[in-house]
Homo-oligomer: A and B are copies of this chain.
């Protein structure tokens, strides 16, 4: 299974792939592209990745989560251009009970954000663009690169 995808993401097949009749709980998370960031209007963005490492790290995150939470986990991240309102990342977890399902999803999205080599370039309403740096001081707008 590929963890990186250039086409729009769909939740239903992700959940379907990990479902079983013994499971009573399905928790999901979708990270959606917003129309603003750090006070600036965002009109579009694109994701790029160090693809072989990103695939390997995603696989590792899923394995770790499934061992840790007794859940089955699905994960897919979008690459390339993503429109406002579309999903950038989907996580799903299926478990016997809701606690492990919620915990697994939350753990996985946190791990994706901190460990997977994916980068986001935003285009702003004023025509500029910038790479987003989540480690930058909150509220400081990243240095713009003329678009």
Binding site for B on A (CB under 8 A): 11-12, 19, 21-36, 84-85, 87, 96, 98, 101-102, 105-106, 109
Query: How many copies of this protein are present in the complex?
Result: 2
A-B contact pairs, 22 of them (CB 8 A): A11-B11, A21-B34, A21-B84, A21-B85, A22-B35, A22-B36, A23-B32, A24-B31, A24-B32, A25-B31, A26-B28, A26-B29, A26-B32, A26-B87, A27-B28, A27-B29, A27-B105, A28-B29, A29-B102, A34-B96, A98-B109, A102-B106
B residues near A12, Cβ cutoff 8 Å = 11-12
A35 to chain B, nearest CB (A): 4
Instruction: Report, nearest first, the 9 A-B pairs whose CB atoms are least far apart.
Output: A26-B30, A21-B35, A24-B34, A28-B28, A27-B29, A24-B32, A21-B85, A21-B84, A102-B106
